[in-house]
Amino acid sequence: MPPTRVLVVDDAVVVRRLISEALSGDPDIEVVGTAANGRIALQRIRQCNPDVVTLDVEMPEMDGLETLRHLRADFPSLPVIMCSTLTERGASITMDALALGATDYITKPSQTGSFDESMQRFRDDLLPRVKALSRRAPASGSIKPFVAKSAGLRAEPVRIIAIGVSTGGPNALSVLMPRLRPDLDVPVVIVQHMPPMFTRLLAERLDAHCPLSVKESAGGELLRAGSVYIAPGGFHMVLTQLGGGVATALNQAPQENSCRPAVDVLFRTVASIYGAGTLGVILTGMGQDGLRGCQEIHERGGRILAQDEASSVVWGMPGFVAKAGLAEKVLPLDAIADEINRLAGDGPKPRVFSPLAAQPRAAAPS
């Protein structure tokens, strides 16, 4: 199999060198060119024919957003990974880039670290993304959209919707969330793998276009129907019983699946409190975070939906769940909202959500 061809675009010589050396150290990657700004990058794409482009957000002459607009017009399916600073401005521009069609993003290492430390950060964060995005074509014999024979047999009404998503998630959520019914009678909790600041901006943007109330969780919120709670970057979000209801809680326990927030952490507490009343939804994402949480939901009689391979940016998280036989349905992204609306529309639900009476009290992990 030929190596993945990468074009590195950044106005900083040091960053171009860091990224190039971090990627070139892998035998499956070939850096076929570099560019100092967007204008040069658009020329190099035609010359080098890359499989993946890494694109700096802020550059002279033609910045990342303008470059992306031109690139998407001529190369609509070419994977593009934005490289952003971990600042308010960098996060905002990156969210704009994702809305314009960027495939994924990373945050650059801080300038306080050494050259070797920065290179390791790029190896850890960028290399897996490049490899995952270079294998986007569905594999032969891959799982197609399906409905399990057991679908629809459970009588327990849906009491909560728990969503886990990673690579490609902001765009997937921007498709899914506006299609949810405005009178949705259950709360929604979401883990999207993102760093601090990014999750708050994501919540604000979804709230502006979604019929439901969307917010980044601050911890301690009592779950209410028609409200959406997104785990903040850098914190695990769990659910805990509080008086007669259920509330969010945040902690900074160790990462799981190299993630914090992690889908498994949230799904475990959702399953322990809501049991068969849980609807778990696994969307596009790299890795297998959410697999063990879905196993717990399944064991307690809850339902699980997974996004199909064709509509996923990376069919890692939903692929593991589907291949484990845990998904009741594997669906294209544009069909998932309708299925959620159908499953969550059966019967009246209380406006403040109490746990199932038969479930034991779940304490938040320390």
**Active-site residue numbers?**
166, 193, 289
Contacts of 345 (CB under 8 A, 6+ apart): 181, 185
In this structure, are strands 160-165 and 188-192 parallel, antiparallel, or unpaired? parallel
What tokens were used for 73? 């017009």
Give 334: exposed, middle or buried? Use CB within 10 Å, 0-12, 13-18, 19+: exposed
Q: Amino acid letter at 259?
A: C
As given in the structure block, the two tokens for residue 225 are 């129907």
At position 206, the amino acid (one-letter code) is L
> How far from 24 is each of 16, 28, 50, 121, 340, CA to CA, in Å?
12, 8, 14, 14, 44
In 3D, which of 91, 49, 39 has the Cα closest to residue 70? 39
